[in-house]
A and B are shown apart, each in its own frame.
Chain A
Amino acid sequence: MVNSEGQFYTMEGIAAAVLMVITASLVMSTTSIYTSGDTHIQDMQLELLGNDALKVMDTPKAAGANSTLEELVRDWNNTEFNNEFNLSINEKGINERGFGNLYYTSNVFYINKTGVVRDKLFSYSRTYFGNPNAVRVTRWVFVGSNAPIDGIGQFSDFNRTRNQTVLLEVLIWRE
């Protein structure tokens, strides 16, 4: 014969046990800190956008021809790069700034005459200074031999005598 007395105490005990377990798990989980998922999702979108923009600019105009990006880096035409890249990553052009625009700064890395990796500031829409959450996108750029003396060949340690492949690095961030 089952005695139904004391069921209330049992229930109270279960409730207390559940509370204790939840409290313990809450206390344990406070030691690990997660950044919110949003920042990573935004980073991912920025990275995809930047890579796509560079890919568009690095697509040759015809089979065997140079791409726009190759010509701009070879001729060190940072004004035109600024226009084109801004048009690609922002909905608006550079002269019509609006809400939530993306900004960038870019460097070109190359191997100089003595075989050392050097970099030069190429083009930027805003100086990078303590801004949060910039992502880096890169693109290989082929610069032929005899780079023009008013282009990338203007740097005294740049080896103009052989064809070179340089690395264009772009930092993109949202302000």
Chain B
Amino acid sequence: MARVDDSGQWIVLMGIMVSIALFFLAFLLNQSTLVGMTTAESVLEFPKNEIQDLRSEVFRWAERYEDLPPSEKGNALRDISILARSRKSAEVYFKVESQVNASGYLYFPITIHYNNGVTEYHENTTYYISGE
């Protein structure tokens, strides 16, 4: 075989480097759409609004809780847990306990549980009625 002319090797090397850089940039561009997808997906998957909605509904329930006859006090939990199970595939439990008087401050202790199989949420909180 004839002797290969070894001049111009730098140009060839540069050509290879540029082509690899181009491939790399194309790869980055390709990945950027996936980043948008996974971020949006994880935002969609996390039940932020369901939990906030449940919390606000429980607090509103606590507002009314005091005036309800004993037979009506379990209604909201029954409705919400059955509907959440059938429509949202989530297990929901909450409890508004009887009024506590802590040195003049009246409040209801509240327990909230939420579990949709992916996200679990527990909260112990209080609903204040009045402070003196």
Contacts and interface: CB of A to CB of B under 8 A. Distances in A.
Interface of A: 4-9, 11, 14-15, 18, 22, 34-38, 40-41, 43-44, 47-48, 51, 55, 58, 60, 64, 109-111, 115, 117, 137-140, 142, 145, 162-167, 169
Given A43-B44, A109-B87, A142-B60, A165 B75 contact: yes
**The 7 residue pairs across chains A and B that have the minimum distance between CB atoms:** A37-B36, A40-B40, A37-B37, A165-B79, A140-B57, A51-B49, A37-B33
Interface of B: 3-4, 6, 9, 12-13, 16, 20, 23, 33-37, 40-41, 43-44, 49-50, 52-54, 56-57, 60-61, 63-64, 68, 71-72, 75-76, 78-80, 82-84, 86-88
A148 B87 CA distance: 26
A15 B23 CA distance: 13
A77 B89 CA distance: 29
Contacts of A4: 6
A51 to B, nearest CB: 4
